[in-house]
């Protein structure tokens, strides 16, 4: 690689490496078009807007989506929800998590993964991520106490967790596993769909996700009873069970719940988006590979290792610099080159994806003066774990050195080559 002089960097007045525009939104959202319109108009024309009833002889879009999603992912049960947060809360409750329990959750995830635990009245215990930026199995082991009931493992930024290790730990300690697949829809680990390993897998169809209806979610589940409990909780407590007013079919089926149902309008958009998933995954993977091949040996940067590279959905390129103080100038130089890059952790800039910024958990904020779940009298099998901003130093260290660039399926070869060129150009001077 030729040496780039400092003056040639765009930030110092040199020519930009990337002259094509960056994409304004995310990959699924960019595709919203005729198919989505057609599906939504069918719902409006039929006036069938609620999944459980409406004019006769109309098939529920939500039901069809569940059927097709389950088949695509290879799971026996799928439940559509209004969000991934609703999916996570329903899954935790459905798996029997509640007062007195601790749930170990990854320290690098959108805050919702942790908020769901608190909403389910359990105490979150935040764990380290390793260099893959997914939960560190060794730290799960360290953080297990007699009160630990479940793990929330997050396939973060497209990359699968080490599911062999996670499932082995869960088996050894008899823990429930809830997979947060919000950012990795369509990803796999050793050929098996993410979201099908644990007791429940929760997906998001929020606007910034691979496929989207603006809002929406899904739970995958392998077990009929667990599915029925999750289904009941998401629907005010079994309101729309097959036999609505019947006695419970098994102990623990009937209890009060919330309403996280998916609307037929969302289901309609998602049917069209689901059809686009394979194309979007292929595009992101192609683009990732094209950039990766050009930067993987660049001195001064190290691409994020991936537990199973074939299963990565490739929503982004992340690479490490060797010192945190290099990240800001590197990112600023990349932006000047025309690449929408970002650093990830900066102690001074709040970001709800990094546990140290989760003020509500660090300070054990609750909506009333009663400090439920933190002072729960049922939590009596182990001392109350207090989460603190410095409890996971490795996580902060990794995140403080990482640079992040979004990848969308719609990027052209030229876009990819220019991104790689910009990274290499900046690395020559600043890495």
Q: Which residue stretch of 104-112, 131-139, 263-271, 314-322 sits at the interface with ligand PLP (rule: CB under 6 A)?
A: 104-112
Token code pair at residue 223: 């077990």
**CA-wise closest residue to 399 among 344, 353, 348, 326:** 344
- Total residues binding ligand PLP (CB under 6 A): 14
Q: Shortest Cβ distance from residue 155 to ligand PLP (Å)? A: 8
Q: Shortest Cβ distance from residue 424 to ligand PLP (Å)? A: 30
Binding test (CB under 6 A) with ligand PLP, winner from 66, 128, 130, 180: 180
Q: Which residue stretch of 34-42, 141-149, 179-187, 279-287 sits at the interface with ligand PLP (rule: CB under 6 A)?
A: 179-187
Distances (CA, A) of 104 to 113, 151, 174, 264: 10, 5, 13, 34
Q: Shortest Cβ distance from residue 92 to ligand PLP (Å)? A: 13
Residue with tokens 């001392």: 383
Residues 176-195 as b/e (b if ≥16 CB within 10 A, e otherwise) read bbbbbbbbbbbbbbeeebbb
Residue with tokens 């960019």: 30
Distance CA 158, CA 181 (A): 8
Q: Shortest Cβ distance from residue 216 to ligand PLP (Å)? A: 7
Q: Which residue stretch of 176-184, 238-246, 325-333, 418-426 sits at the interface with ligand PLP (rule: CB under 6 A)?
A: 176-184
Residue with tokens 């967790």: 161
Binding test (CB under 6 A) with ligand PLP, winner from 154, 166, 265, 327: 154
Cis peptide before 373, with omega less than 30 degrees from 0?
A: yes
Alpha helices (H) in 47-156, listed in sequence order: 61-73, 84-94, 112-119, 137-143
**Which H or E run includes 202?**
strand 200-204
Name which of 60 and 266 has its Cβ closer to ligand PLP. Answer: 266
Name which of 18 and 28 has its Cβ closer to ligand PLP. Answer: 28
Q: Shortest Cβ distance from residue 82 to ligand PLP (Å)? A: 8
Q: Shortest Cβ distance from residue 273 to ligand PLP (Å)? A: 14
Name which of 215 and 337 has its Cβ closer to ligand PLP. Answer: 215
Binding test (CB under 6 A) with ligand PLP, winner from 17, 127, 182, 270: 182
Binding test (CB under 6 A) with ligand PLP, winner from 27, 39, 90, 113: 113
Position 39 contacts ligand PLP (CB under 6 A): no
Residue with tokens 């998602």: 270
Q: What are the residues facing 218 on neighbouring strands?
A: 80, 203
**CA-wise closest residue to 261 among 40, 45, 65:** 65
Q: Shortest Cβ distance from residue 112 to ligand PLP (Å)? A: 4
State the DSSP code for 55: S
Encoded one letter per residue, x for contact with ligand PLP by CB under 6 A and - for no contact, window 70-99 reads: -------------xxx--------------
Strand ranges (E), 264-421? 302-303, 316-320, 341-343, 402-406
Position 183 contacts ligand PLP (CB under 6 A): yes
Give the chain's count of helices (H) and strands (E).
13, 13
Distance CA 361, CA 391 (A): 13
Binding test (CB under 6 A) with ligand PLP, winner from 110, 227, 233, 330: 110
Binding test (CB under 6 A) with ligand PLP, winner from 204, 266, 273, 387: 204
Position 206 contacts ligand PLP (CB under 6 A): yes
Q: Shortest Cβ distance from residue 84 to ligand PLP (Å)? A: 3
Q: Which residue stretch of 72-80, 106-114, 300-308, 369-377 sits at the interface with ligand PLP (rule: CB under 6 A)?
A: 106-114
Helix (H, G, I), strand (E, B) or coil at 297: coil
305-309 long-range contacts, Cβ below 8 Å, gap at least 24? Answer: 305/131, 305/132, 306/132, 306/159, 306/160, 307/132, 307/134, 307/159, 307/160, 307/161, 307/162, 307/163, 307/189, 308/160, 308/188, 308/189, 308/190
Q: Shortest Cβ distance from residue 143 to ligand PLP (Å)? A: 19
Q: Shortest Cβ distance from residue 204 to ligand PLP (Å)? A: 3
Binding test (CB under 6 A) with ligand PLP, winner from 39, 109, 387, 400: 109
Q: Interface with ligand PLP by CB under 6 A: which residues?
A: 83-85, 109-110, 112-113, 154, 180, 182-183, 204, 206, 217
């Amino acid at each position: 690689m030729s040496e780039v002089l400092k003056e040639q960097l765009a930030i110092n007045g040199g020519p930009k490496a990337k002259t094509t525009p960056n994409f304004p939104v995310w990959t699924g959202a960019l595709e919203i078009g005729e198919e989505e319109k057609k599906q939504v108009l069918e719902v409006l024309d039929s006036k069938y807007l609620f999944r459980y009833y409406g004019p006769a002889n109309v098939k529920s879009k939500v039901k069809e989506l569940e059927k097709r999603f389950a088949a695509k992912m290879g799971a026996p049960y799928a439940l559509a929800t209004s969000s991934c947060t609703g999916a996570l809360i329903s899954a935790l409750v459905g798996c029997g998590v509640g007062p007195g329990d601790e749930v170990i959750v990854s320290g690098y995830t959108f805050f919702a993964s942790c908020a769901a635990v608190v909403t389910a009245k359990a105490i979150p215990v935040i764990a380290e991520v390793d260099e893959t930026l997914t939960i560190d199995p060794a730290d799960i082991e360290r953080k297990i106490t007699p009160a630990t009931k479940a793990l929330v493992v997050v396939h973060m930024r497209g990359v699968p967790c080490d599911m062999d290790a996670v499932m082995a730990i869960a088996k050894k300690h008899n823990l429930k596993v809830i997979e947060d697949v919000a950012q990795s829809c369509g990803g796999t680990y050793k050929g098996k769909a993410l979201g099908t390993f644990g007791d429940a897998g929760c997906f998001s169809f929020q606007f910034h996700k691979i496929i989207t209806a603006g809002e929406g979610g899904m739970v995958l589940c392998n077990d009929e009873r667990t599915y029925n409990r999750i289904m009941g909780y998401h629907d005010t407590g079994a309101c729309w069970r097959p036999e609505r007013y019947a006695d419970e079919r098994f102990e623990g089926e009937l209890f009060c719940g919330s309403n996280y149902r998916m609307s037929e309008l969302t289901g309609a958009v998602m049917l069209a988006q689901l059809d686009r998933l394979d194309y979007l995954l292929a595009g992101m993977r192609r683009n990732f590979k094209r950039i990766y091949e050009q930067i993987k040996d660049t001195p001064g940067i190290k691409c994020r290792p991936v537990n199973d590279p074939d299963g990565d959905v490739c929503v982004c390129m992340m690479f490490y610099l060797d010192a945190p103080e290099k990240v800001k100038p590197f990112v600023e130089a990349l932006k000047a080159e025309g690449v929408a890059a970002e650093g990830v952790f900066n102690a001074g800039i709040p970001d709800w994806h990094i546990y140290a910024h989760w003020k509500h958990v660090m300070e054990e904020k609750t909506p009333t003066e009663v400090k439920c779940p933190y002072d729960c009298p049922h939590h009596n099998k182990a001392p109350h774990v207090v989460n603190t901003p410095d409890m996971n130093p490795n996580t902060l260290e990794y995140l403080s050195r990482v640079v992040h660039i979004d990848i969308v399926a719609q990027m052209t070869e030229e876009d990819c080559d220019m991104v790689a060129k910009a990274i290499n150009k900046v690395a020559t001077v600043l890495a």
